[in-house]
Structure 1
Amino acid sequence: MPFFPLGTRQLTLEEMHIDKRLECKQVAVETRDKCELAGIIVKAINGDDNITDVLFDDREPIIIYFQGNAGNMLFRIPVFAKLILYSTNIVKKLQIVAIGYRGYWFSTGSPSEKGLQIDALSIYEFVRVLYPKNPIYIYGHSLGGAVALYLASNEKIQKELKGIIIENAFTSIKDMVTTIYPQKWLPYKYLVNIPLLIRNKWDNYHVIQGIKIPILFLSSRNDEIVPQEQMIELYKKAKMSKKKVWVEFENALHEDVYSHKGFVEAIKVFINETIADQGD
């Protein structure tokens, strides 16, 4: 299931060239089934405020970031830097917790849909202990969108979240197989209709229909991996969401939304408009 570009399993935090205005702390999360997940917490340096001592403002938003199906969290640091360091008049401070799934980076175990679901729950519990009062958002890119939607489908957790950010997610694994292998003479589009042959389903199309909290959709018009039509379908099916926002990036591809104008503004406006929400 995972794809690792060369060397990403061995790449360390110390080898990364990180903006000196950022603090990154490597952390580990133990899952319910005893896997150890490796990840990072990223924030801006603020004088004597040291992330090692976990000093923070209870009002400061926390984003739990779920990555796509390639590489490791260290490659997402430019995304985090853009969100944390880019100056806007609203939501000036936030922290990002980015924990790798089992089998990714230095995390133990082997990835599967069930395993990543356990990871999501364990990561959320870790964050809630570390930040018991802070407003929490979950952000999922591509595969991470499926993980984020699964986590939010837990009714208890959904009530505690302020919102979800979905970037270039797909409707289901079945739909993605059909997209990648459209040829009628290939067997894949037929095999996905045999339930026992497909272990990882990630049926976001149905899961999103039960999400009531605010959702921000970040969609690349030129997505070369996930057809934009799948994001449009997810948006249409999110009928129960009390607030859904669609932001399209005309020239963006699957991986580079963060580098396009309006990315940071869209997220911070969304946070600003939902952070005071007290729920149902």
Structure 2
Amino acid sequence: MALMTWLWRAAYGVAGLASLAVGALYFLQEKLLYVPVAPGISQNYEYFPDQFHLMHEDIQLTTKDGLSLHAWLLWDPAWDKATLRNKPLILFFQANAGNLSHRLPFFRGVISKLGCVILAPSYRGYGPNPGSPTEWGLKMDAEAAINYALSRKDLRSEQLVVMGRSLGGAVAIHIAAQHQDKVKALIVENTFTSVEDMVPQVLPFLGALIGKGGWCNFLVRNKWLNDVEIKKLQMPILMLSSSDDEMVPRSQMETLYRITSQNNRIFVDLVNAHHMDAYDVCPLIYWPALQRFLDENVD
């Protein structure tokens, strides 16, 4: 009898904890999913392009819901206007935690090693920007960014390449699917299949409730259905996947590759690299793969 009582109490306890976790996921999912400020890092920009010997233009993007968001246009100081017009233009969507200033070492590599111009928008709620991040909001931010990129006739906007890392890959897949006639090629790095697929990875005790076939999937408002959107794409796609990604299971990048209908897609294995450090850990694989992809797909 005492054992049965203990088992019932344990069951109630587990059910109570699961209910609390599901409730937190529903009501706090934006806080859990989007991390504008990583622990120990300021929300404000900590570094600036001139510290990395980069020229830049500060840009304000206006979203459909009236927010004014900061972006950087970045290039090599040795390039004149004519040179800028002939350089590949990459619209880059950043990963989740932190702000644009933490991506400057990577931007310097793209510019110095690949000879590209970068337009890097900051999401709502990130860095100096107003607003709070949601899937709906970030998609509007991306729309404002691509519209601005396409409006710059002094740049190579007719050969636009879209790139995203992690969460930024989800943003990039979405905006490329919306503008297939305007995007020349897509680069995706360490991106997940969907938020529903990621919940069991981050919160394993919710795996029975949320995930493939989970009966609580309706609670996930920020879905980011990359495994659905990527099937729409007809452009060349480069997929960069770190073998030791500690955040996104490698299998999810493999799934995105497998389900993509486009034949002109490339999967690059970044050996011993983690979620955010592939360009630094695997420079002899990472940068040549990007260069070949750009050479083959940008006129």
Common topology (TM > 0.5): yes
Q: For each residue in 1:111-158, what CA deviation from the matched residue of structure 2 results, as whole angstroms up to 9, or x when unmatched?
A: 10000111111100011112465311010100011101110111xx21
The CA deviation at 1:58 is 3.2
Aligned position for 1:147:
171
The CA deviation at 1:30 is 0.9
Q: For each residue in 1:76-134, what CA deviation from the matched residue of structure 2 results, as whole angstroms up to 9, or x when unmatched?
A: 11111111112xxxxx5210111111111111111100001111111000111124653
> Is the Cα contact below 8 Å between 2:68 and 2:129 reproduced in 1?
yes
CA distance in 1, matches of 2:207, 2:185: 43
In the alignment, structure 1 residue 110 sits paired with structure 2 residue 132? yes
CA distance in 2, matches of 1:23, 1:184: 47
Aligned position for 1:59:
86
- Ranked by relative contact order (alpha carbons within 8 Å, sequence separation 6 or more), the top structure is 1
> Is the Cα contact below 8 Å between 1:182 and 1:189 reproduced in 2?
no
CA distance in 1, matches of 2:235, 2:121: 23
Aligned position for 1:26:
58
In the alignment, structure 1 residue 243 sits paired with structure 2 residue 264? yes
Aligned position for 1:46:
78
> Is the Cα contact below 8 Å between 2:196 and 2:210 reproduced in 1?
no
- How many residues are aligned here? 261
> Is the Cα contact below 8 Å between 1:191 and 1:197 reproduced in 2?
no
Higher helix share: 2
SS at match of 1:262: helix
Q: 1:185 to 1:245 in 2, by over 3 A?
A: closer
Q: Which amino acid aligns with 1:255?
A: M
> Is the Cα contact below 8 Å between 1:173 and 1:200 reproduced in 2?
yes
Aligned position for 1:274:
297
Aligned position for 1:89:
none
CA distance in 1, matches of 2:290, 2:207: 43
Deviates more, 1:139-148 or 1:36-45: 36-45
Q: Which amino acid aligns with 1:81?
A: R
Runs of 4+ with >6 A deviation: none
Aligned position for 1:11:
45
CA distance in 2, matches of 1:83, 1:68: 16
Q: For each residue in 1:58-82, what CA deviation from the matched residue of structure 2 results, as whole angstroms up to 9, or x when unmatched?
A: 3321001001111001111111111
User: 1:63-78 alignment to 2 at 5 Å?
Assistant: 63-78=90-105
Q: 1:127 to 1:17 in 2, by over 3 A?
A: closer
Identity over the aligned pairs, expressed in percent? 31
SS at match of 2:85: coil
CA distance in 2, matches of 1:192, 1:225: 21
Q: Which amino acid aligns with 1:19?
A: F
> Is the Cα contact below 8 Å between 2:46 and 2:102 reproduced in 1?
no
Q: Which one of 143, 149, 155 corresponds to residue 121 of structure 1?
A: 143
How much is the aligned-residue C-alpha RMSD, in angstroms? 2.2
TM-score (norm 1): 0.86
Give unpaired runs (5+ residues) of structure 1: 87-91
TM-score (norm 2): 0.81
> Is the Cα contact below 8 Å between 2:190 and 2:253 reproduced in 1?
yes
SS at match of 1:165: strand
In the alignment, structure 1 residue 254 sits paired with structure 2 residue 287? no
Aligned position for 2:11:
none
The CA deviation at 1:10 is 2.1
The CA deviation at 1:28 is 1.4
The CA deviation at 1:190 is 9.5
SS at match of 2:86: coil
